[in-house]
Amino acid sequence: MKADAKQITHLLKPLRLLLLGAPGSGKGTQTSRLLKQIPRLSSISSGDILRQEIKSESTLGREATTYIAQGKLLPDDLITRLITFRLSALGWLKPSAMWLLDGFPRTTAQASALDELLKQHDASLNLVVELDVPESTILERIENRYVHVPSGRVYNLQYNPPKVPGLDDITGEPLTKRLDDTAEVFKKRLEEYMKTNEPLKDYYKKSGIFGTVSGETSDIIFPKLLNLITSKFG
């Protein structure tokens, strides 16, 4: 992975960004790089929240596990309540807040519910970007992906391998392969994603805040994403 340009310490207005992209498209990687590049930016990931719930074996976590193991997306009401509560708890429902959403909303129903909440606090989304990555690239990534479950750290045996095979770089604990990280399960997830993503894209296109960046690797996509942000927010 190439080193990123110098940090962006000032934007002309607060950025509230939603990253869209198929499972395995690299939303987590792009989020990590943006947080380093724009220090004032914070993030919330539906995937991270769900992993925390699953680890704690909460009612939500157990219900989510059932859907994930079958390669299905979570129902609207299950994820919407969790995300909106977390936004409020973090104090991000204000005009000056700068944040990035990863993995939510995924349907027009979720998007509409989120918009209504944000408008009440004058903190609406002002940029939505889709990461456009070929399906063949995504399936190759998934076959080589392993995770450190307690932290959510993700490794890829091809382009981001652990320093010691099978072990997390920080803790030395074993890495595991998620139940849904197989080509068979992921093809189902990609099919479901495409069904819900087209209406969601249309929803945000109407608001005039939608854009797309395309590429096969993080190093190709990230400069395009950063250029899009700086062109609109300075």
Catalytic residues: 27, 106, 145, 178, 189
Beta pairing, strands 145-148 & 153-156: antiparallel
Contact 132, 126 (CB under 8 A): no
Supply the DSSP symbol for 12: S
Give the DSSP H or E segment for 148.
strand 145-148
In the three-class reduction of DSSP (H, G, I as helix; E, B as strand; rest coil), residue 124 is classed as coil
Contact 6, 12 (CB under 8 A): no
User: How far is the C-alpha of 8 from the C-alpha of 38, rounded, in Å?
Assistant: 5
